[in-house]
């Protein structure tokens, strides 16, 4: 598997853990790190069924984007930098496989936006989430204004972005920003456990389910329901559907083949 300067990759039993590793800057996102993430996602190993994203160390998931890199940018350069990060995060959001964020500390600015781009967010009890950009004279630039409002609601998004206030894991859970909170020492174990539970299911059906949820969110009800019906029908063209239902009727465990 390819090696990167800022990324650590571990693949075991169809579950890949991608660790963002720039510990001197608390895993802050710079252009080179984003390019490495883009390369990894573009060339994703087809054997990966679930991706877990976490940060290196005990303090930080991703502390934000690299302010030292952003400080001298002009308007055109700033827009280009934001577009790079937004494109990488959109690639995460639209991956055909589920992506779990295991948030092990600070998830601020670009770090919060990275977590928002994932399908499921699990947090350590010491995690903190926030969009502090307006305190730096900018706004969230990696799609934070869009995703935070969709996930936590417009009122929560406006309060957190306008005030630049960071919230602890328990409040993030209360407002729906994260799915669950665990003690730091249990976070990765629980993330892997959830990943393995997903891996046990029919992989094509999981991919179709993610596509439905993503595509239908902004559609009118009739269009969304019709889209789901088409994807539901496509499941019956797979061998896994026959395997799953045959196993159920015979009271056996299903062993899916991804076909």
Catalytic amino acids? 113, 133
Distance CA 60, CA 62 (A): 5
**In whole angstroms, what is the distance from residue 46 CA to residue 44 CA?**
6
- Of 132, 139, 137, 160, nearest to 148 by C-alpha is 160
Helix axis angle, 239-249 relative to 203-216, nearest 10°?
Answer: 110
Sign for the CA dihedral angle at 108, 113, 114, 119 comes to: positive
Cα torsion angle, 166, 169, 173, 174, sign: negative
Q: How many CB atoms lie within 10 A of CB 159?
A: 14
């Amino acid at each position: 598997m390819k090696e990167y300067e800022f990324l650590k990759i571990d693949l075991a039993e169809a579950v890949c853990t991608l660790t963002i590793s720039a510990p001197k800057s608390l895993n802050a996102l710079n252009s080179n790190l984003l390019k490495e993430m883009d390369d990894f996602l573009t060339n994703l190993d087809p054997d990966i069924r679930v991706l877990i994203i976490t940060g290196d160390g005990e303090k930080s998931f991703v502390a934000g984007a690299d302010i030292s890199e952003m400080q001298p940018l002009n308007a055109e350069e700033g827009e280009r930098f934001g577009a790079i990060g937004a494109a990488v995060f959109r690639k995460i959001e639209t991956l055909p496989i589920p992506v779990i964020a295991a948030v092990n500390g600070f998830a601020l600015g670009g770090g919060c936006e990275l977590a928002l781009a994932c399908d499921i967010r699990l947090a350590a009890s010491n995690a903190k989430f926030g969009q502090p950009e307006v305190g730096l004279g900018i706004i969230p630039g990696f799609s934070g204004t869009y995703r935070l409002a969709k996930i936590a609601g417009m009122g929560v998004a406006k309060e957190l972005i306008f005030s630049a206030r960071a919230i602890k894991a328990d409040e993030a859970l209360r407002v729906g920003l994260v799915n669950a909170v665990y003690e730091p020492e249990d976070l990765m174990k629980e993330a892997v456990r959830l990943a393995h539970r997903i891996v046990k299911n029919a992989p094509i059906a999981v991919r179709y389910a993610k596509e439905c949820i993503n595509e239908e969110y902004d559609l009118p009800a009739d269009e969304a329901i019709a889209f789901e019906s088409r994807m539901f029908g496509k499941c019956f063209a797979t061998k896994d559907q026959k395997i799953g239902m045959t196993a159920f009727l015979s009271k056996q465990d299903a062993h899916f083949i991804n076909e």
